[in-house]
Amino acid sequence: MIRARRSRIVATIGPASSSLDMIVTLATAGADVFRLNFSHGAHETHAAVYAAIREAEKIVGRPLGILADLQGPKLRVGKFANGPVILQAGQAFRFDSDPSPGDETRVHLPHPEILTAMRPGATLLLDDGKLRMTVTEAGPGYANTTVVNGGKLSERKGVAVPDVVIPMSPLTAKDREDLAFALRLGVDWVALSFVQAPEDMAELRRIVEGRAAVLAKIEKPQALKVLGPILDLCDGVMVARGDLGVEMAPEEVPVAQKVILRAARERGIPVIVATQMLESMISSPTPTRAEASDVANAVYEGADAVMLSAESAAGEYPEESVSMMNRIIERVERDPRWPELMQAEQIHDDVDADVLVVAAAGAAKAGSTKCLVAFTTTGATARRLSRERPLQPVLALSPDINAVRRMALVWGVESRVSAQPDSLEVVTTDASSKALELGLVAPGERLLVVAGTPFGAPGAANLLRLAHAPGPGRRR
């Protein structure tokens, strides 16, 4: 199954989509990567879904990526003695370390890290930002606040602190257990929630030890202040607009999305745009026009992937959601203005540029070149080609099935397992034969092959070769 599009689709698996039949249906409809949300579900459930995805991979005949999304710390208030309380704008309200049930004047905050970090003037957001408070005084074990935006506050509602770096690891004890389990399963990507600093990603990388690619979810304003150093430690990044939208003003989120996209594209790492993309399709067979435009805009910006959350995990129309996202992407990529608009987001510099890869992408602009083929051990050469956003398909061939599956998230790349070549003749023969077999070229058409020597040794590409697909009267 070769997709007629470059941007990829990530579909979250949940109760509505966990069967083998539905996973095959979603992959056939266009899903490239499946997300396991470790905020929900037991390990046994995730193991069964993992096995079903690997079986579906055999059925659809192309690699499917699996992304394990760790829950991260969930910061919540404690309990109330007599049920929910109503807070009025202007009133005083206290958060403290006293575990006794709260009332209209105070509540337990079972997160000493927040109380330690509090300072006068800081903002607290509760219940997805519905309630807003400003800290007036803070000390050991307490923070006094004034209610700015009031309303009903129930026990165990979430707390966000948008303008303070909280001195805690985003990897909770639960996350560490989930991560160890996900790595034993063999997931391809691991996403870390609530990243605040480069040290968070460095900690994840130390634990993972190369057993999966690592991805940062950018959902806190603090992360934007050190975005570059965070991305330098990532294999990919997600614009997690849900929590980001809680802690930032709504008008700031589209700007943040563009900043993250450009920074990721500059580094050549995959970027996913996520949250509420086709939200209305949880209960409707069609999206709103605004949602369709939202997906389209991410594609115009050159995002590697767009993601479905509840739409595919728990909604009434998981297949229709994937199919609709696929149709939107295909329509955008047929727009004659799409290449120009997408390339306007490209950073034209030489940061980590591989000169030969850039030359290959430039040479491919010749109308007679139909396909680029990258022989790659780790996937790095294919990712560097993808960074240049060539309009021809990129066929990535690797002997490593793990590298092949990770590349399912990368813009414009069709990845397949192939034996490691041992000579220039084999490089040319294997590249042209595989491209022809997959329908990426027709007999006699031209392709460009990028590889590195010595063969099988990870490193920069140093070989660019012109080839032609086998056909009547045409030598390879």
Q: How confident is the model at residue 476 (pLDDT cuts 50, 70, 90)?
A: very low
Using a pLDDT cut of 90, give the percent of the chain over it. Answer: 82
CA 476/CA 467 separation, integer angstroms: 6
Mean pLDDT of the chain: 93
* β-bridge mates for residue 324, sequence order: none
Give the three-state DSSP class for 300: helix
What's the mean pLDDT in 94-117? 95
**Contact criterion met (CB below 8 Å) for 430 and 421:** yes
Claim to verify: residue 191 and residue 330 sit in the same structural domain: yes
pTM for the full predicted model? 0.92
The pLDDT of residue 473 is above 50: no
What's the mean pLDDT in 191-211? 96
Stretch among 205-219, 248-262, 359-373 having the lowest mean pLDDT: 359-373
Claim to verify: residue 102 and residue 50 sit in the same structural domain: no
CA 318/CA 309 separation, integer angstroms: 10
Claim to verify: residue 268 and residue 388 sit in the same structural domain: no
Claim to verify: residue 189 and residue 316 sit in the same structural domain: yes
Report the number of distinct structural domains present in the chain.
3
The pLDDT of residue 126 is above 70: yes
pLDDT at residue 40 in the model: 94
Q: How confident is the model at residue 349 (pLDDT cuts 50, 70, 90)?
A: low
Stretch among 36-45, 52-61, 151-160, 461-470 having the lowest mean pLDDT: 461-470
Q: Which amino acid is at 281?
A: M
* β-bridge mates for residue 96, sequence order: 108, 142
pLDDT at residue 452 in the model: 81
Q: How confident is the model at residue 421 (pLDDT cuts 50, 70, 90)?
A: confident
Q: How confident is the model at residue 403 (pLDDT cuts 50, 70, 90)?
A: very high
Claim to verify: residue 111 and residue 186 sit in the same structural domain: no
Give the three-state DSSP class for 246: helix
CA 318/CA 35 separation, integer angstroms: 14
**Residue 317: which CATH number?**
3.20.20.60
pLDDT at residue 365 in the model: 78
pLDDT at residue 472 in the model: 65
Q: Tokens standing for 336? A: 């004659």
Upstream peptide bond of 454 is cis (omega within 30 degrees of 0)? yes
The pLDDT of residue 147 is above 90: yes
Claim to verify: residue 179 and residue 299 sit in the same structural domain: yes
Q: How confident is the model at residue 363 (pLDDT cuts 50, 70, 90)?
A: confident
C-alpha triplet 209, 189, 163: angle, nearest 5°: 90
Q: Tokens standing for 134? A: 């400003």
Using a pLDDT cut of 70, give the percent of the chain over it. Answer: 96
What's the mean pLDDT in 428-455? 91
pLDDT at residue 3 in the model: 83
Of 336, 369, 402, the residue that ends a domain is: 336
pLDDT at residue 353 in the model: 53
What's the mean pLDDT in 23-38? 98
Q: What is the longest distance spanned by two Cα atoms in the chain? A: 86
Structural domain including 231 reads 8-72+169-336
Question: Is residue 188 in some structural domain?
Answer: yes
Question: Is residue 401 in some structural domain?
Answer: yes
pLDDT at residue 74 in the model: 86
What's the mean pLDDT in 421-430? 88
What's the mean pLDDT in 438-443? 94
Of 275, 309, 336, the residue that ends a domain is: 336
**Residue 402: which CATH number?**
3.40.1380.20
The pLDDT of residue 396 is above 80: yes
Claim to verify: residue 152 and residue 278 sit in the same structural domain: no
How do beta strands 142-149 and 92-96 pair? Answer: antiparallel
